[in-house]
Amino acid sequence: MNKKVTLRELVGARIVLTICIAAYYWCWARNSWENYFSSIQNCVAIFAFCFFCFLAIREKKYKKEITDEMAAANLKRCDSICYKIVTVLIVCIGFLSAILRFTVSPEVIGYMLVGTLVLMSIIRTILFCYMDIKGV
Q: How many helices (H) and strands (E) does the chain have?
A: 4, 0
Cα–Cα distance for residue pair 77/131, rounded to 1 Å: 9
Cα–Cα distance for residue pair 95/112, rounded to 1 Å: 13
pLDDT of residue 2: 67
List, as one string, the DSSP characters of 17-50.
HHHHHHHHHHHHH-SS--THHHHHHHHHHHHHHH
Per-residue pLDDT tens for 16-64?
999 999 988 888 887 777 888 888 888 999 999 999 999 999 888 888 8
pTM for this model (two decimals) = 0.83
Cα–Cα distance for residue pair 123/119, rounded to 1 Å: 6
